[in-house]
Amino acid sequence: MRNLKNLDENGKPMSRGYGFVSFTKHEHALAALRSVNNNPEVFTNDQRPIVEFSLENRSVLKAREKRMEKSREKNPLWMKNAASASAKRGKLFF
Taking the C-alpha atoms of residue 54 and residue 22, their distance in angstroms, rounded to an integer, is 10
Question: Do 16 and 34 belong together in one domain?
Answer: yes
Q: Are 42 and 34 in contact (CB under 8 A)?
A: no
Question: Do 50 and 84 belong together in one domain?
Answer: no
Residues lower than pLDDT 50 in the chain: 91-94
Question: Do 19 and 51 belong together in one domain?
Answer: yes
Give the pLDDT confidence of 30-55 residue by residue, as tens digits: 898 899 888 888 888 888 888 888 77
Question: Do 1 and 38 belong together in one domain?
Answer: yes
Nearest to 37 by CA among 26, 27, 51, 24: 51
Question: How many domains does the chain divide into?
Answer: 2
Query: End-to-end alpha-carbon separation of the chain, Å?
Result: 57
- pLDDT score, position 83: 56
Secondary element (H or E) of residue 6: strand 2-7
Nearest to 12 by CA among 21, 2, 23: 2
- pLDDT score, position 62: 85
Domain of residue 31 covers 1-55
Question: Do 19 and 38 belong together in one domain?
Answer: yes
